[in-house]
A and B are shown apart, each in its own frame.
Chain A
Amino acid sequence: MTDGARVFAVPPGVAYAPAFVAGWQARFGALDPLDRARSLILVNSRRSQAALEAALAAAGLGLLPRLVPIDAGLEDQDLAPAIDPLRRQLWLTRLVGAYLSRTDTAAPPAAAADLAEALARLLDQVQEEGVGLARLSTLAPDSLAGHWQRTVAFLDILREAWPAILAGEGALDPAARAHAAVAARVATWAADPPRHPVVVAGSTGSRPGTARLIAAAARLPQGAVVLPGFDPDLPAEIWDSVGPDHPMHPFKRLLTALDMVPRDVALWHGAASSPARARLWAEALRPAPVTDAWIAAADGLGAAAPEATAGISLIEATSPRHEAAAIALAMRQGLEVPGQRVALVTPDATLARRVTVELARFGIVPDDSLGRPLLQSPAGVFWHLVAEAAEPDADAVKLAALFAHPLACPGTTRAEHLRHARAYERAVLRRGPTRGLAPWPPDTAERVTPPEAVAWRAAVATALAGLTAAQGSGLSARLAAHLAAAEAMSTPPGEAPQVWAGADGTALAQALARVIQAAPALGDAPVADYPGLMRACLADQTLRPEPGRAHPRVAIRGPREGRIEGADLVILGGLNEGTWPAAPGTDPWLSRPMRRSLGLEAPEALIGLSAHDFLLGAMTPAVILTRSLRAEGTPQIAARWWVRLVTLLQGVAPDALAAMRARGQGFHDLVARLHLPQASVPRAPRPAPCPPVAARPRQLSVTEVERLIRDAYDIYAKRVLRLRPLDPLGRAPEARDRGQVIHAILHRFVTVTTPDWPDDATARTLLLDITDQVLAETVAWPDLRRLWRGRVRRFAAFLIEGERQRRAEGRPAALETAGAIILDAPAGPFTLTARADRIDDLGGGTAAIFDYKSAAPPSAKQIGLFAQQLHLQGVILDRGGFAEIPGLRAHSGAYIGLSGVGSSTTVADLGPEVALAAERLARLIADFDDPQTPYLAWGRAEKVGDVGDYDHLSRRAEWQGDAE
């Protein structure tokens, strides 16, 4: 110990706040009350301040000392204010953006925001170390790779430009300001040391500025430092080899500055909680190389393992969902112990949200300090949807999402808005691809758009127009337009805009006020990716649960908060590499050697801090460690601390390890029990509706008859219930359109060549010319035109070869021709209709029927059973149903498949088979004229993979797999 520096520790596993208060009382309790009130306690954060204040008040010490966060404790210095971080971020984005646009780099302009964020971190680190950007020029550019030379060149520009910008702002960089404030405070203390106690609490001193301040405080006449979670019994050989990723590394800088080793640090109050547990973790987390030390320590560790691990459980869940459910069960069980406080400690906000949802099962709302991202709250989502919908090329999905949002009501009541929005969706957004807010379709005889609906669309257009028009403007103007649009889109008549109503709306308004303040820093240049920038500006805003609703004994905390605020049962969640510890971010601005030569810490130092957070939790007497084996289908790697513990125990105390796993497995097994249904739910029956005959259709087309055979429920839904599937939003072109285009091409090609069949080469040219014409007339998407033209080229040879034969045998007599016959049926006349693709006159009163397929043609086996089109058309033809060509009889036919290189299936004996088909048809119609015949869903499904438009309506997924 040197110059009387007083450094104390509360060891890991001992609750910090009560231990701090007890030690305070022991040392300063005898002071005159006024002196006690004059004394100063500097704490690491506002949360710690609140926790220590509560603990001091609970101890009933009368007049409390002054508790001040370290940062705020420096506020009385006469320094310019620190620049708002968001404002600095936008300034840097602007500078980086200008740099990217001027230089030939690999980074796209949209990367400017991310690069600026990394740059801000770099500025902080450089200034915390007190290095200053000037040192950068000492990096010898010649020794660096080309791209590093370019970044050094940029940093040189920054070194000159940035101080001038800050001077214009009248502000300082936060880290530089803190550095200066610490220096001033240390100087004041040196010149005139305070007589009253000054105690630094809760800080590890891992940041350089804080370390300097703590070192100075430790040497004051009545100064002291109380380190959180520091173990003075750490063996010297471990301390000497502590690397940046070790849990004790955060203390290294401070103790080295004070020229101290662990055993110079005294305990602040009482004793360590569990020497056996401390020894176990010290060994498990020992810096590499470890194995020889483990072998040497094996016997002692093995003997102490049962005691050391008694309070530890391990949960290895199969998925994050299971992990959350197991955690919630453990928390719920923990509450059964009267007065016991339980806390989940995790850096994983998604896991925290999942656990919150699981806890809702028990009616528990945890005090969640991680909060919910503002951007995922209703107001945040609405704000974002407005921005996306106002983009000039906004597609149907974005518009429909905005309209469906609960806050949307553009100057109308919510009910009116929904009515018009749904009509607009059907009439416009589901009719085809749209860009922006397309107008209503023109009125027709059947459909007239009511004036209120026209006014509604106009109101939406007016609301969004300003923001759309602000595309080319700078951030400030764009924000102003965005505010106006969001308010106009959410204002019911005679009321205030709903976007600000509610706790999330107020939080959004406060966050936006900050963005508005910072926006001028980005300048007046157009913003490249406005929705993306907006997301970045609001990304770190979170919503806390409403005060008073949270359970007083259940908390979810971030790792750093666990340092001061303990709990009786601690659950450390999300212990996978990449989550806890987080992967060290790469620094796009400086390489590792460059960082080293500037005296900056290795990126792994952050892992050391994480390790310390972990150790504090892991030393709690009752602790559950949890991880998930997989996340989003990918196997996960356990956190390094988990791996170390498991490996060590496997060697020295496999039984203790098995016991820890068994305790955790208990919770995991309970999860499955949670989801066991209490009673078995019978399968939904396959629907087989029997509507009265009067409601059954008296007319079907040939294709509908085919459908009736396969899936009668389809005909029931379409023709009895009269339901039609909605087209998808912003319908993209699909197979149906391709079929229509190919039919149109064939129609024109056959028409042109009917009088005179040309030679093959001419026919081919003709076919491709016609293809180009048809595509140009009917297909709006250039990429599809090329794709479909390619398809026609592929089957052109097959088509022309076949066509030559067909022309040799007959002459096209009717194309795309409609036919109908009326049949006698038990319940009265029944009409069968058809549209035949093509019928050729073979001479002698006979005809061939052809059907074009844009997919593969039916196989010979399918024909007659499932594929009855040609046969049924034959029935119509034989009875003179095709008015264009009376007096012909069906002789033969073919399905001409126009996919791939082409293929066809011929029905040579169509003539004789038609009579059979007519009989079958009569029986089918008679069957369905019987009120007992059900419209069974998928009664004769051909393949399991067949899908229909009404599968969802018939709840097919629920009954499928039923025995036939």
Chain B
Amino acid sequence: MSGPAAAMVLAAGLGTRMRPLTDRLPKPLIPVAGRPLIDRALDHVAAAGVPRAVVNLHYLAPMLRAHLAGRVAPQVAFSDETARLLDTGGGVRQALPMLGPVFFVLNSDAIWTGANPLATLAAAWAPGRMDALLLLVGRDRARTYTRAGDFHLGADGLPVRRGAAPTAAYVYTGAAIMTAAAFAHMPEGPFSLNLPWDRLLATGRLAAVVHPGVWVDVGTPDGIAAAETALAS
């Protein structure tokens, strides 16, 4: 199995939803139950046995850089977006020279409990069937999540966009495996990860697996309290 040897941790967001907490602190450094979000994300990476991580930087970049300076497991490299925010897809594309052919993509603003999200992904990764594998969670297990959901799961296990439906049963948790090939022929500059996913959806090469634990979107100050509760239980 050609499992990923590197992880892309998305940490460049402005954190506007988290104001005022993020006025002086980049969102990934906000502590939840005493441990900063970015460290929690990197802990998952290390626990899954992935040796390398790439963290992209934009907002308050020097603080993040200094915070991660001493980290050895995983080994951390930085992808600098201080000149220009590249959005999720553009951020990954810029970091491709550090990632290799197959890699994890992980948001730094979510809390997963239960099984290691990366281990769940790695176990379900089947080269030949997919160019991206998304970790989803049932809406009922997504804490502080109030939006409509992102995907249905078809009978064949393949994800389908919510589309015009009022709600969808599954939410993207911010963890995925992707291949470098998924980023061929992408536009210059910023673009969302939704762009490569939509292309893969059209050819049946986007797959999904469901996270068996609980997931908390720490996008807002309320989310932190919910996350701390989830971690305590």
Contact = CB atoms under 8 A, between A and B. Distances in A.
A514 B3 CA distance: 14
A87 B203 CA distance: 15
B99 interface: yes
Given A480-B3, A513-B101, A506 B77 contact: no
Interface string B103-144: 000000000000000000000001110110000000000000
A187 interface: no
Nearest to B179: A513
B99 A500 contact: yes
Contact of A496 (B2, B98, B128): B98
Contacts of A517: 127-128, 130-131, 179, 181
B183 interface: yes
Contacts of A495: 77
B75 interface: yes
B1 interface: yes
Interface stretch (A304-312, A518-526, A824-832, A883-891): A518-526
B128 A513 contact: no
A841 interface: no
Given A479-B2, A495-B77, A520-B128, A513 B102 contact: yes
Nearest to A480: B2
B100 A500 contact: yes
Nearest to B52: A496
Interface string B197-227: 0000011110000000000000000000000
Contacts of B101: 483, 509-510, 512-513, 516
Interface string A484-497: 10010000001111
B176 interface: no
A506 B180 contact: yes
Contacts of A484: 5
A682 B126 CA distance: 67
Interface in A231-283: none
Contact of B183 (A487, A500, A510, A514): A510
Contacts of B77: 495-496
A81 interface: yes
Given A484-B5, A509-B100, A75 B181 contact: no
Contacts of A518: 128
B180 A510 contact: yes
B184 interface: yes
Contacts of A521: 128
B34 interface: no
A369 interface: no
A512 B77 CA distance: 22
A495 B6 CA distance: 12
Contact of B1 (A81, A476, A502): A476
Contact of A500 (B2, B3, B75, B97): B97
Q: What's the dominant secondary structure at chain A's contact region?
A: helix
A477 B2 CA distance: 7
Given A495-B77, A500-B96, A509 B128 contact: no
A505 interface: yes
Nearest to A46: B185
B74 to A, nearest CB: 11
Given A476-B2, A483-B5, A509 B99 contact: yes
B45 interface: no
Q: Among B75, B101, B126, find the residue whose CB has the most chain A CB atoms closer than 10 A.
A: B101
Interface string B65-106: 000000000010100000000000000000011111110000
B12 interface: no
Given A496-B77, A516-B127, A487 B5 contact: yes
A487 B97 contact: no
A497 B96 CA distance: 11
A487 B128 contact: no
Contacts of B128: 87, 517-521
B79 to A, nearest CB: 10
A516 B98 contact: no
Interface in B39-57: 52, 54
A520 B102 CA distance: 15
Nearest to A75: B202
Nearest to B126: A520
Contact of A483 (B96, B100, B179): B100
Contacts of B126: 520
A132 to B, nearest CB: 25
B97 A519 contact: no
A487 B101 CA distance: 11
A170 interface: yes
A516 B100 CA distance: 12
Contacts of A480: 1-3
A54 interface: no
Chain B CB within 10 Å — which of A499, A509, A521 has the most?
A509
A516 B99 contact: no
A176 B213 CA distance: 44
Nearest to A482: B2
Given A494-B75, A510-B184, A513-B181, A519 B127 contact: yes
B69 to A, nearest CB: 11
Nearest to B97: A501
A506 B180 CA distance: 8
A81 B54 contact: no
A516 B179 contact: yes
Contacts of A501: 97-98
A931 B79 CA distance: 65
Contacts of A75: 202
A75 B2 CA distance: 31
A504 B102 CA distance: 16
Nearest to A170: B204
Contacts of B130: 517
Interface in B118-174: 126-128, 130-131
Nearest to A511: B181
Contacts of A477: 1
A516 B102 contact: yes
Contacts of B75: 494
- Which of B3, B6, B77, B102 has most A Cβ within 10 Å? B102
Contacts of A511: 181
A511 B102 CA distance: 11
A37 to B, nearest CB: 22
Contacts of A476: 1-2, 127
Contacts of B127: 476, 516-517, 519-520
Contacts of A496: 6, 52, 54, 77, 97-98
Interface of A: 75, 81, 87, 170, 476-477, 479-480, 483-484, 487, 494-497, 499-502, 505-506, 509-514, 516-521
23 contacts: A87-B128, A170-B204, A476-B127, A477-B1, A496-B52, A496-B54, A499-B100, A500-B100, A501-B97, A509-B96, A509-B99, A510-B181, A512-B101, A513-B101, A513-B131, A513-B180, A513-B181, A514-B181, A516-B2, A516-B101, A516-B102, A517-B181, A519-B128
Given A483-B100, A506-B97, A517-B179, 13 more contacts: A81-B205, A483-B2, A484-B5, A495-B77, A496-B97, A500-B96, A500-B97, A501-B97, A510-B96, A510-B184, A513-B101, A513-B179, A517-B181
Per CB-CB distance, the 3 closest pairs between chain A and chain B, nearest first, are A513-B179, A513-B181, A496-B98
Interface of B: 1-3, 5-6, 52, 54, 75, 77, 96-102, 126-128, 130-131, 179-184, 202-205
